[in-house]
Structure 1
Amino acid sequence: MRSVVTGVGGYLPERVVTNDDLAKIVETSDEWIRERTGIHERRKAADDQPVSDLAVAAARIALEAAGRTPADVDCIVVATTTGDLTFPATATIVQRKLGCPVGVAFDVQAVCSGFVYALSVADGFVARGRSKCCLVIGAEAMTRLMDWTDRGTCVLFGDGAGAVVLEPGEGTGATADRGLLGFALRADGTKQDLLFVDGGVSTNGQVGHLRMQGNQVFRHAVVNISEAIHAAAADAGIPVESVDWFIPHQANQRILEGVAKRVGIDERKVISTVARHANTSAASIPLALYEGVKDGRVKPGDLLLLEAMGGGLTWGACVIRL
């Protein structure tokens, strides 16, 4: 039994924040940001728009693409680090807003790696017959964690959500099967000080701001992600170069290019949305997947390689045949 992606959706808030907009509030410039990150603009959620609203909008599009309705959903896994409330889980709020029946609903918190982690968790429900229709959502309002005086971080992030519908499908155990084919998940808590938020319920009772040692994160990202990519490909039984599309976490254009080069993936196979979306953390992979499906590049039967790295440090990769 395989967990098959039957629908993909995405949502971006209406408000566009350009590099020139940021140059008005922090010492930076459009040229400085583009040169170092490849980012041109990002989206910012409205003040009255919680992350569950972004998740719901993306989920509705994914369900429609799958030919399903909220009544069919029996499992919701939301990857987010910017949930509506400390509790309950944002997934339960999404369940209520969509009008889904009683079922399984919970959040996964692995920051930017969250969507890859969430796919692996959801695979345990779907492939084992415990879910017939599972929503896996990556949704973030990262702009709410920004220190707007820190030009090294506030220019990097944006808000948005992406979602997929997972349903069980019969396979043969071969790499030609549709569905989730291989995973590699990693974490190293000793690297926490490289990327973290300096606030929390049980430490100082504050939301806090994102803090990052950019150069160190870049170095670890290229090396560690490359290892996970090879491990996920081996788990799926495919050579890395055989993938049709590489859909990475949209952290920084230089990281995307560095990883693709290191693992030997043709740059023409890389789907990059970082210029328009910036880093939307757990939402970035499903948003990029949605863009690829929407514009016709990514087609049923294509072999996809996903990867991400986030605070923790956490990282991982996944192979999917759409």
Structure 2
Amino acid sequence: MPSPTHGTAAERTAVLEGLAGVVPPRAVSNDDLPAAWDTDDAWVRRRTGIRVRHWVAPGVSTGDLALEAARRALAVAAAAPVRPLGAATTAPVDAVVVATSTPDRPMPAMAPQLAHRLGLGPVAAWDVAAACSGFVYALAGAAGAIGAGIANRVLIVAAEVYSTLIAPDDRGAGVVFADGAGAVVLRRGEQGEPGSVLGFDLGSDGAGHELIEVPGGGALARSAPDRYTPADLHFKMRGRDVFQEAVTHMTLSAQLLLKNVGWSVHDIDRFVAHQANARILNAVAERIPVPSDRQVANIDRVGNTGAASIPLALADAAEHGRLHAGQRVLLTSFGAGLTWGSAALLWPDLAPVPSVHSTDGPPRSR
């Protein structure tokens, strides 16, 4: 019998029916980076594969990006050519899940306020804090809620405003991390139909918690303030160690999930990994292995957007016609914690997905 973290879909199958993403209008090219960082376009591209990233304007929060992505995904779901099974719900969704490591505030969770801003009523709402693995973890939790009969339709939003965590003198993180949000809508459906979520592999290793962290801002710092400084409110990462851990765990997780769902590497039509940096993406794809023409990547145009990176890459690929109904799609991710996770699904027949590059800023009323 499959274990909870390595199982295939239950009888009540979760099916993807909505997808959208958004990045803030402010585009920061490699030439626009702070002069104090002493970088140039060639150096950044060689190390990361990134040409441009997007950062929010002052006053724009993670919740604002999440709201815009959610509205777009719900609109796509509303126009879906296939309607869900069972009686219609009184709201567009029964539950809201937000994946983020840059919440608007430590408490309360972001999901209830997002549900309120969307006018969804008293639906179930909760956050997931698994850093860059957050979207896959949230997807698994939402699929589980559908499988258990808790919900018939779930909105999942992954949103990050990493620009708020970057120290002014941190070139390493500053050239990589960016802001954005991606959202999907899952509904109850039938096994094997386009959009079916087929299975997951999830894992963690808390022994590596110091490899990627924001040390301050939590209960540890409040209980022992003499041990922490204002600098501890910024993002810290041990890049070389993270590279090896990310490549190892994403590769093994993806390979294990392939075995569990009965796919060979030749069955993969599209492969979407967390957009950490181009070198990690290439290393994971080579080890699985997945040919370059089946890989989906947009890190060159949006940077590393944490939990939002996979849904943003999916939305970008869908917009440009690289995803088609029935294709077999493999997702894999790695983040702070340490956490990692993979998911397999059949691509749905979606309504047109709007561009993630919007000329309008997200709403800012809270």
Same-fold status (TM-score > 0.5): yes
Q: Quick check: 1:318 aligned with 2:318?
A: no
Q: Post-superposition shift, 1:97? A: 0.9
Match of 1:11 in 2: 22
Q: Which residue of 1 aligns with 2:39?
A: 28
Q: What residue is the counterpart of 2:9 in the other structure?
A: none
Offset at residue 177 of structure 1 (A) = 6.4
* Contact 2:204–2:337, Cα closer than 8 Å, also in 1: yes
Give me the whole-angstrom Cα distance separating, in 2, the residues matched to 1:154 and 1:121.
31
Q: Aligned equivalents of 2:342 and 2:207: distance in 1?
A: 20
> Given the alignment, which residue of 287, 309, 312 partners 2:334?
309
Contact 1:5 1:164 in 2 (8 A): yes
The AA in structure 1 aligned to 2:209 is Q
The 4+ residue runs of structure 1 with deviation greater than 4 A are none
1:298 corresponds to 2:315: no
Q: How many angstroms apart in 1 are the aligned matches of 2:263 and 2:17?
A: 22
**In the alignment, what sits opposite 1:180?**
197
Match of 1:253 in 2: 278
Give the corresponding residue for 2:362.
none
1:14-49 CA-partner distances (Å, limit 9, x unpaired): 111111111424222221111000011111112111
Deviation of 1:180 after TM superposition, in Å, equals 1.1
1:11·1:58 contact (CA, 8 Å) conserved in 2?
yes
> Aligned partners of 2:90 and 2:19: how far apart in 1?
15
Asked whether 1:214 is paired with 2:239, we answer yes
In structure 1, the residue corresponding to 2:210 is in which secondary structure?
Answer: helix
SS of 2:180 mapped into structure 1? strand
Equivalenced residue count is 319
The match for 1:279 among 289, 300, 304 is 304
Alpha-carbon deviation of 1:197? 1.1
TM-score by length of 2: 0.84
Q: Distance in 1 between matches of 2:208 and 2:172?
A: 19
CA contact (8 A) 2:74 2:185 kept: yes
Cα deviation for residue 240 of structure 1 reads 2.8
Q: Which has the larger radius of gyration?
A: 2
CA distance in 2, matches of 1:125, 1:258: 34
Q: 1:38-78: CA deviations, max 9, x gaps? A: 01111111211111111111111111111179931110001
Q: 2:91 aligns with which of 49, 63, 71?
A: 71
Aligned match of 2:82:
none
**1:164 partnered with 2:164:** no
Q: Shift of residue 226 of structure 1?
A: 0.7
Matches within 5 A, 1:39-54: 39-54=50-65
| Aligned-partner Cα distance in 2 for 1:202–1:35 | 39
Determine the C-alpha separation between the residues in 2 that align with 1:224 and 1:285.
16
% identical aligned pairs: 41
8 A Cα contact 1:184 1:228, kept in partner: yes
Q: Determine the structure 2 residue equivalent to 1:106.
A: 126
Instruction: Report the secondary structure of 1:59's partner residue.
Output: helix
TM-score, normalised via structure 1 length: 0.95
Structure scoring higher RCO (CA < 8 A, sep ≥ 6) equals: 2
